[in-house]
Amino acid sequence: MLDEAIEPTDPPVPPAALFEILVRENAGSLMAFLRAAVDDRAAAEDLFQETMLVAWQKIGVYDRNMPFGAWLRGIARNLVLAHYRSAVRRVTFSNDQLEHLELRLSQIDRQPGDCFDERIAALTLCVERLGPLYREPVELHYRQRRSAEWIAERLATTKTAIQKRLQRARLHLADCLGRKGVLPQPGQAT
């Protein structure tokens, strides 16, 4: 007869398994950050792998009070800057732009939603709801990575008109994502 309830105890999770779980939860967000910062898909994938290697090597200094995704993006940001310094290319992103991108992704991280994939699904739905005047330039610019000049030529308009359409489309998308709870609404604390 057992008078006391026996509570099962789970064995401790090994550090490698914890690292793998955290990486799996943040891989989509990290790759989005890298793809936004680096035009070359192969370079972005290489930087992703390098970020994982550095993160694994430095996991002992990770501050558990800080979101893991933000910590990974900090490592990636330094690697992106080093990539542009060593590649002798025109720097596509400045440190300020990378900090702005990190801020936006951090805001998204603090919003409700179980995973990055759900947020991407919300974005896809919002893009589908854009009128053709805005949706086509968004698809060409962000998915096919075409320049405003190229899009203007294809749509028989001016570069300025395309830039304005993209700007308005971003505002519509931010509003749609705000209504879905993925982005903070204007004036909402983050």
pTM value surpassing 0.75:
no
Q: Give the pLDDT of residue 1.
A: 45
Residue whose tokens read 């026996």: 6
- Residue type present at position 116: F
**DSSP helix/strand/coil, 179:** helix
Residue whose tokens read 């558990």: 64
The residue-averaged pLDDT of 114-132 equals 78
**pLDDT tens profile 14-34:** 567 777 888 888 888 888 888
**pLDDT tens profile 52-106:** 999 888 888 888 888 888 889 899 999 998 888 776 544 455 566 666 666 666 6
Q: Give the pLDDT of residue 109.
A: 59
| Whether the predicted pLDDT of 119 surpasses 90 | no
| Cβ–Cβ < 8 Å for 77, 35 | no
The residue-averaged pLDDT of 149-157 equals 92
| Whether the predicted pLDDT of 12 surpasses 60 | no
Assign a CATH topology to domain 14-110: Rna Polymerase Sigma Factor; Chain: A (1.10.1740)
| Whether the predicted pLDDT of 117 surpasses 80 | no
Query: How is the chain split into domains, by residue range?
Result: 14-110, 114-190
Q: Give the pLDDT of residue 91.
A: 45
* Confidence band, pLDDT 50/70/90 cuts, at residue 189: very low
* Phi-psi sector, 134: left (phi>0), alpha (psi -120 to 50), beta: alpha
CATH number for the region 114-190 comes to 1.10.10.10
* Confidence band, pLDDT 50/70/90 cuts, at residue 174: confident
The pLDDT mean for the chain works out to: 77
81 Cβ contact list (under 8 Å, min separation 6): 95, 98
Q: Taking Cα atoms as reference points, which of 109, 113, 124 lies closest to residue 74?
A: 109
